[in-house]
A and B are shown apart, each in its own frame.
Chain A
């Protein structure tokens, strides 16, 4: 559905089901250069179980208008504004990668809107090297190739997919290429400049859960485990052999972990 957020049309998938803002809400926050399409199998899964699903595209991503937001703080505020515009008072927040940082900051700045936090393949900080930031600015297609390559694990590279006939690697590439030019660069800069993860995590008061990929090369598991410790998640879900693109490559494990956590923390 399209919602006006601060004067720009924003798109949010509702998982293919009618959106009821009064139902228990789950909001998915995508990662750098991604869109709501990172969460196809999550948004549909939760929408079909009666949740009000909001899986938005940040400005300049996917089907949303507007200029890209350039800091994690601004992105967190935008998600709070989106919730207000959609009539959602409080939501379970699920953040993937950069979306995890945004989730942390959303909880710090708008704690009353966050019912629980689910972190998927993320960390307290996501430093990005200068070469990739520069590439995203000047050779975006090459940066997309590199990130798609590094983001996917064995399943992706072998084009093995639980959805019959589809390939993760090339889908991921086209998903990123469909965003507005400059969106990826803004995201990477925002990630790189965000240093408040530990402070934000220390202030988290809502229930939190962390799901990590054992072979994640973008946010390595050891950093994800530090996040788990910081937010009080004593039993993180570790997916053996998985890379960074957990929601698409390992939807069954991610959905099961997030569902179990959300159902335990209504």
Chain B
């Protein structure tokens, strides 16, 4: 082999060489909790991290490792650690970087659970967060403090679809010696690779486009290996003694893999949000077709945008590839292969119109997920955000008439026909 394998080849093969004994072409499911030691020395060697291998499936597992290595390869990272969900991936990342008294700078337009974690849960443990609009570069610069341990954001914000200008934000973070952590769930490495654009750590909810089938919840942390953790006063968990692990200095011992080693030897070892081998197997099946699926997601999204823009029942349509989107230019520069398959639009009839539409679709599914191969729709005002005040919704960029569409892989004519009949019902209901 000369040169790196390309995206689709890595999606199919990375992390797995068929074993000599059985020759299984598919990645086997190692549905086991633990692993037989050859002898005492072998056991000690595994515990001492002087030998690669598996001890206990809370910490690592052969099937899960294939998934980890495959995602690391697709993202261009030095290593990865899979978790039971995307939120668990974010939590173990924070755990590896922050302690009480530390500070996070975060994008303000992102997934609600991410905001909740930063705003409420971490606060209880003495970790404060300053929120900044994703493209407020001056705001990011101003928000960074001496105790800031990470800068966090999403490339394509969920659900408002703001695009973060990562290269510009990363430049600010680098000057302040702060690692950039990106939730890349909405873009996937097929559309955009954060590590090649200034990020240091990438997390995913694998449940969404990476898996794509909607059968397994999972998350992952990918270490870019491109951050200098040498400031032991600022990053004592990476370049100070790791007291839970022979007081070893991870930066000295593991270099570019220091952060991900911390995640595994603390996050997985002490907290344990591990991914099941069976879920890892399902997610691997999804990764095998990620490139193909993303091409189709993007193509269907473009056609759906055209349909919605010209439909009488639609008030407005928002997507970063549309020239009237505030981040159109940033999206054009950073996401030339497509800006994801989530569309926000406003249906005539406001809250009532939205509710009727959602209850009238027949091909699309009404549920609280995104990134499935099947088209998914939700009307936040009557469902996920029905308990939230109008003011809070407005602050989050949400309106009564807003629909969130996760465009799937169906034949586009079937989708537009389904939307057309549901939108007509919505319009009639709205009078």
Contact = CB atoms under 8 A, between A and B. Distances in A.
Interface of A: 11, 13, 15-16, 35, 37, 40-41, 44-45, 47-48, 62-63, 149-150, 154-155, 157-167, 169-171, 174-175, 177-178, 251-252, 255
A166 B69 CA distance: 6
A154 B18 CA distance: 12
Contacts of B5: 157-158
Nearest to A45: B50
B367 interface: no
Given A45-B45, A165-B72, A170-B76, A159 B15 contact: yes
B300 interface: no
B277 interface: no
A171 B79 contact: yes
Contact of A170 (B49, B77, B255): B77
B69 A159 contact: yes
Contact of B60 (A48, A155, A164, A167): A164
List the 8 shortest-distance A-B pairs measured between CB atoms, nearest first. Answer: A162-B52, A44-B50, A165-B68, A164-B60, A174-B256, A174-B225, A166-B79, A163-B52
Interface in B41-89: 44-45, 48-54, 60-62, 64-65, 68-70, 72-73, 76-82
A157 to B, nearest CB: 4
Contacts of A251: 51-52
Nearest to B54: A164
Interface residues of B, number: 52
A48 B44 CA distance: 9
B48 A44 contact: yes
Contacts of A63: 230, 252
B302 interface: no
Contacts of B60: 164-165
B260 A166 contact: yes
A2 to B, nearest CB: 10
Contacts of A167: 14, 69, 72-73, 77-79
Nearest to B62: A164
Contacts of A163: 49, 52, 79
Most central of B14, B50, B60, B70 by chain A CB within 10 Å:
B50
A194 B61 CA distance: 46
A72 to B, nearest CB: 25
Interface string B382-395: 00000000000000
B262 interface: no
Most central of B3, B16, B52, B81 by chain A CB within 10 Å:
B52
A159 B68 CA distance: 10
Contacts of B65: 161, 164-165
A174 B50 contact: no
Given A170-B76, A174-B225, A161 B69 contact: yes
Given A167-B79, A171-B257, A174-B256, A149 B69 contact: no
Given A159-B15, A171-B225, A175-B255, A165 B260 contact: yes
Contacts of B50: 15, 41, 44-45, 47-48
26 contacts: A11-B252, A13-B252, A16-B246, A37-B256, A40-B253, A40-B254, A41-B51, A44-B48, A44-B49, A155-B17, A157-B5, A158-B13, A158-B14, A158-B15, A159-B14, A159-B15, A164-B53, A164-B68, A165-B82, A166-B69, A169-B4, A169-B73, A170-B76, A177-B226, A251-B52, A255-B51
Contacts of A149: 1-4
B143 interface: no
B348 interface: no
A11 B255 CA distance: 13
A174 B255 CA distance: 9
Interface in B1-57: 1-5, 10, 13-17, 44-45, 48-54
